[in-house]
Amino acid sequence: MAKTAAASAPALRRTAIGRWLIYGLLIAFAAFYLTPLLVVVLNSVRTAQDIGSTAVIGFPHELALDNFSRAWSSYCIAQSCTGISPYMWNSFLMVVPATIISTLLGALNGYSIALWRFRGDNWVFGLITLGVFLPEQMKLIPWTLILRDLGLTGSILGLVLIHVVQGISFTTLFCRNYYVGIPPELLKAARIDGAGYFRIFWRIVLPLSPPILIVTVIWQFTHIWNEFLYGVTFTSGTQQPVTAALIALSVSVSEAPQYGVQSAAVLLAALPTLLVYFFGGKYFLRGLTAGAVK
């Protein structure tokens, strides 16, 4: 027994060293990845004089919390000195309906494909999820023509339509893969009781769906909020979402760049998605792994 313990001691020591090396590498990678965020957070509470006299990277000598109020309500964006508040409202007007509609349509699609089998259902599923793999750049011209013909170019409603259609691929994929784990006996029993397509969906399937619906809502909300290409391509001026408006952050030529205010604006624009993941992150992971064993 003593020989066994003596022989296992070096192995345990090597295991501990290897574990600490892994932890050290992970901490180093995390620090490297989070450095830009740290720079933005520090600059958001620094004055323009502080940043100009030292460097863009540095700790504040005095807190300039008014950067956030200026970024919210008085900073100049695209020749309009209203701050980012109207553009944040544009993003909410775009994100909320697009997320709700695309999630509901994805749930209906996943329910139909997974639980109401029909000839060619796998082909339909494949065609719907093909949109997951198509790059957004190749869809710009088709969307330009569609929005022009519908009279929605340059409007928030046009962006809602784009993100609803674009999001159906992801929401259908998530919901279909979750619904295949629902026992078919539940549907058979409901049909025997006279329930139809929509009644089964509302009374049986939806009550079983919160885990995957949370996943799709968080995914769609963060993806649509952070999307930039369509916002900058199909809207301009006061109709832009906040991600596109941030590119137009501007000051007069006689004034030094306001890096502190710009950093505060970036943090305010990122706040909704950060809050969504902060409060819903654990539910997101639970929803992704729900039914994995099945």
- Averaged over 91-114, what is the pLDDT? 93
- Regarding whether 190 and 50 lie in a shared domain, the answer is no
- pLDDT of 8: 63
The domain boundary residue, chosen from 52, 73, 94: 73
- Regarding whether 191 and 103 lie in a shared domain, the answer is yes
- Regarding whether 69 and 99 lie in a shared domain, the answer is no
What is the CATH classification number for the domain harbouring 132?
1.10.3720.10
Number of domains comprising the chain: 2
- Regarding whether 207 and 157 lie in a shared domain, the answer is yes
The answer to whether residue 117 scores a pLDDT higher than 50 is: yes
User: From CA 272, how far away is CA 268, in angstroms rounded?
Assistant: 8
Which stretch, 67-76, 155-164, 196-205, has highest mean pLDDT? 155-164
The domain boundary residue, chosen from 21, 50, 73: 73
pLDDT higher for 58 or 292? 58
Express each pLDDT in 101-111 by its tens digit. Answer: 999 999 999 99
- Regarding whether 57 and 192 lie in a shared domain, the answer is no
Q: Are 147 and 153 in contact (CB under 8 A)?
A: yes
Q: Are 215 and 284 in contact (CB under 8 A)?
A: yes
- pLDDT of 247: 79
Q: Are 250 and 77 in contact (CB under 8 A)?
A: yes
The answer to whether residue 159 scores a pLDDT higher than 90 is: yes
The domain boundary residue, chosen from 73, 99, 124: 73
- Regarding whether 186 and 66 lie in a shared domain, the answer is no
- Regarding whether 91 and 152 lie in a shared domain, the answer is yes
| Residue 240 falls inside a structural domain | yes
- pLDDT of 149: 92
C-alpha distances (whole Å) from 129 to each of 166, 173, 246 are 10, 6, 32
The answer to whether residue 283 scores a pLDDT higher than 80 is: no
User: From CA 3, how far away is CA 66, in angstroms rounded?
Assistant: 68
User: From CA 97, how far away is CA 92, in angstroms rounded?
Assistant: 9
| Residue 153 falls inside a structural domain | yes
- pLDDT of 76: 64
Q: Report phi then psi at 249, rounded to 5.
A: -55, 125
Please name which of 238, 239, 269, 273 lies closest in space to residue 99, comparing C-alpha atoms.
273
**DSSP secondary structure letter of residue 82:** S
| Residue 217 falls inside a structural domain | yes
Of the listed ranges 17-26, 45-54, 172-181, the one predicted with least confidence: 45-54
| Residue 80 falls inside a structural domain | no
- Burial zone of 126 (CB within 10 Å; 0-12 exposed, 13-18 middle, 19+ buried): exposed
- Regarding whether 122 and 32 lie in a shared domain, the answer is no
| Residue 193 falls inside a structural domain | yes
User: From CA 129, how far away is CA 174, in angstroms rounded?
Assistant: 10
- Regarding whether 95 and 50 lie in a shared domain, the answer is no
- Regarding whether 201 and 67 lie in a shared domain, the answer is no
Write out the residue range of the structural domain in which residue 262 sits. 85-289
What is the average pLDDT value for the chain, to the nearest integer?
Answer: 83
- Regarding whether 115 and 41 lie in a shared domain, the answer is no
pLDDT higher for 64 or 5? 64
- pLDDT of 225: 94
- pLDDT of 252: 38
The answer to whether residue 290 scores a pLDDT higher than 70 is: no
- Taking the CA atoms of residue 34, residue 35, residue 40 and residue 42 in that order, the dihedral angle to the nearest 10 degrees is 110
- Averaged over 219-234, what is the pLDDT? 91
- Regarding whether 144 and 56 lie in a shared domain, the answer is no
In the chain, the amino acid numbered 21 is L
| Residue 79 falls inside a structural domain | no
C-alpha distances (whole Å) from 168 to each of 5, 106, 114, 135, 212 are 59, 5, 15, 15, 14
The answer to whether residue 203 scores a pLDDT higher than 90 is: no
pLDDT higher for 57 or 27? 27
